[in-house]
Structure 1
Amino acid sequence: MSTPWKLNTHSNLATRKPRGPTLLKDVWKLSPGKTIDVSFNSRNQSIEKEGRKLTSFLGIVARTLELTPLNIDDWRNFDNEQKKKLVNFVRKKFSFPKSGEAFVLKSLGKKWKDYKCEIKGEYMSKYKTKDSLLKNRPNRRPRDQWSGLVSYWLSDKAKRRTQANRNNRANQKMPHTRGSKSIATLMHEQSGYVRGLGLGPTPSVLWGSKSSVENIVVEDSSNEVVQRSLQPLPVVGLSKPSPYSPVIQLSHSFSKPLK
């Protein structure tokens, strides 16, 4: 049971009530034939508030077991016909270009995978044996899907993949952070230029005045680019310390120095 905000008088810290599931009632209640137009940037990424709504909707689809069953071990094992049905289902509520289909499927795949990881983290920490996992099947999970999912969790293939994911997280340079806007949307809304990310973001938007990334959500392919651009490089041509050297080291790919 979730707990409401509670003020700690000793530390002045608050415990926040967890956010509930996204419902998007306005999307589900759209009249037949009416859709939400979604804009995409030159990289075929959804942008603006309609793009954020599309992304949230894809999260709901990824959790709908009738559409995206849990007992398939890898997103790549969904056949093309299944993926085509998913795209057509999304098109009933959203209008987007043909070139945007790849984004829809990639986003669905990531959200489906994240959902499976979320369930695994919740149940594998409580129940350590196959029998106990099967006995404590969640009410909303079909028996056949749950049985297949549990069998996969306990397989050698899944254990190897889990270890590989742990290693990848340990080597991650920049963690994902909170916020509702993707890099694509921020790039679209802001002016400026950062080499490697194209037109859109300014240094202060990406890193803030204190090199903060608190307001940025790094998603999908953008994550690798941003992490690469954050890698410190040796400063060439500076014979003595410069007041700009920390900026140059962090954001060496800017086309113009900051003033």
Structure 2
Amino acid sequence: MKCGIDEYEASTRLHLLVKDVHNLPEGLRIVVNFDKHHAVIGEAARLLAGARIFFKVSDNLAKRFLLQSLGKKWREHRIKLWNDFYDPRLSKTEIINNAPEDIAPDQWALFVEYRLKLETQKLCKRNQEIRQKQIIPHTSGAKSIARRMAELVIN
């Protein structure tokens, strides 16, 4: 059960799936709550893919959360781009010439230069080795630690 708020800040209870977020009535927003550590909690946390969100915190906290979320998504996208377009059998020039259609050639060239730098490759290899040494697997699923802690406090 989620809480919604209209343009007059009147609250209402909502039963939504993620796909329903884009079909909300005009003016209705989903309330997003944060814990004392400024992490998103509650049922609305999984609906943040939608565009009609009302943050019950200051603008600075909402901005911080959104920038962190965008940063994470950008990092994941960069990794996917590299995995999709990098071929170790190709030369640097060939990789640069094989730029994705939606990325400017000069930006792709800078990205390839960065990824092929010796320091970057050493860092990636070091991080890979560190990840392999982790003996406790991540088993908490998609739910954030903040949401799990908030549920424990409530129950």
TM bracket (short chain): 0.5 to 0.7
Judged with a 3 Å threshold, the aligned counterparts in structure 2 of structure 1 residues 111 and 174 are, in CA distance, closer, same or farther, namely: farther
Q: CA deviation digits over 1:119-157, x for unaligned, max 9?
A: 212222465321221222222222222122111111123
Q: Distance in 2 between matches of 1:105 and 1:186?
A: 22
Aligned length: 135
TM-score by length of 1: 0.43
Which runs of 5 or more structure 1 residues have no equivalent in the other structure? 1-23, 58-91, 192-198, 202-259
Does the alignment pair 1:154 with 2:116? yes
- Show the counterpart of 1:42: 36
Does the alignment pair 1:170 with 2:129? no
The letter of the residue matching 1:118 is K
Compare the two structures and name the one with the higher helix fraction: 2
Q: Verify the 8 A CA contact 1:45 1:100 in the aligned structure 2.
A: no
Q: Which structure ranks higher in relative contact order (CA pairs < 8 Å, sequence separation ≥ 6)?
A: 2
Q: Verify the 8 A CA contact 1:35 1:94 in the aligned structure 2.
A: yes
The structure number with the bigger radius of gyration is 1
Judged with a 3 Å threshold, the aligned counterparts in structure 2 of structure 1 residues 27 and 150 are, in CA distance, closer, same or farther, namely: farther
- Show the counterpart of 2:63: 101
The letter of the residue matching 1:44 is H
Q: Verify the 8 A CA contact 1:46 1:52 in the aligned structure 2.
A: no
The letter of the residue matching 1:120 is W
Which runs of 5 or more structure 2 residues have no equivalent in the other structure? 1-17
Compare the two structures and name the one with the higher strand fraction: 2
Q: Distance in 1 between matches of 2:135 and 2:78?
A: 24
Judged with a 3 Å threshold, the aligned counterparts in structure 2 of structure 1 residues 185 and 132 are, in CA distance, closer, same or farther, namely: same
Identity of aligned residues (%): 31
Q: Verify the 8 A CA contact 2:87 2:95 in the aligned structure 1.
A: no
